[in-house]
Amino acid sequence: MIGILDYGMGNIGSVSYALERIGAKSAVVTDAQEIGKCDGLIIPGVGAFAPAMKRLEQLKPSLKEFVASGRPMLGICLGMEVLFDEGTEGGKCAGLGFLEGSVKKLEGAPKLPQVGWNTIEITGESPLFAGVASGEYAYFVHSYACKPKKAGVTIATTEYGERFACAVGGGNVFGVQFHPEKSGAAGERLLRNFARMT
């Protein structure tokens, strides 16, 4: 069973509908006990970094435990950003620290937020992208992007003003800046790949 973490940041319905469409069992989870029972965990999220971390602070120990157990975790959009050490939206703020690096505003972008379909270039081998072609389009809604410290963590990049990591994978921790739940067949493929890891 895949847990979808509801921590009060944005709509979780779209993710749960998408998992239903691909035939994966899922449940909305809110506390440590429920997180502990999941075979995989998705952290969705729309909004700003600091308020998200404020809400996640209490769950930090159980999320840490979850990652240490080796079970797969996938952060989507803001949920990807909080996986890193530090955010800069509205002042510096510590993240969950499961991946090394920080989150910064996109530079040189023609317009923020980036809203729409953009291509993803797959740069690293990852089970998350099995069967997904490089150059495939994904749906983005964001103004900030993750800057992983280690280059090997980046598994796909996108160009919007600058080239940024649109997907990361470090061990059992994954993150995507785009919304696989809204990215057509390619997005569903990615979610299916994640479900297969559980």
Please report whether residue 183 would count as binding another protein according to CB under 8 A: yes
Please report whether residue 46 would count as binding another protein according to CB under 8 A: yes
Please report whether residue 107 would count as binding another protein according to CB under 8 A: no
CB of 117 to another protein, least distance (A): 4
For residue 103 the two structure tokens come to 């989150």
Residue 148 has phi, psi (to 5 degrees) of: -65, 140
Please report whether residue 58 would count as binding another protein according to CB under 8 A: no
Q: Where are the alpha helices (DSSP H) in the chain?
A: 13-21, 32-36, 49-56, 60-68, 78-81, 184-197
Catalytically active residues are 77, 179, 181
- By CB under 8 A, the residues from 114 to 173 that bind another protein are 114-119, 137, 139, 141, 159-160
Please report whether residue 87 would count as binding another protein according to CB under 8 A: no
Residue with tokens 């969705």: 44
| d(C-alpha 45, C-alpha 116), whole Å | 17
Closest CA relative to residue 189, chosen from 127, 146, 123, 99: 127
CB of 5 to another protein, least distance (A): 17
Q: Could you tell me which residues are beta bridge partners of residue 118? A: 138
Binding residues for another protein, per CB under 8 A? 11, 13-14, 17-18, 20-21, 46-47, 111, 113-119, 137, 139, 141, 159-160, 179, 181-185, 187-188
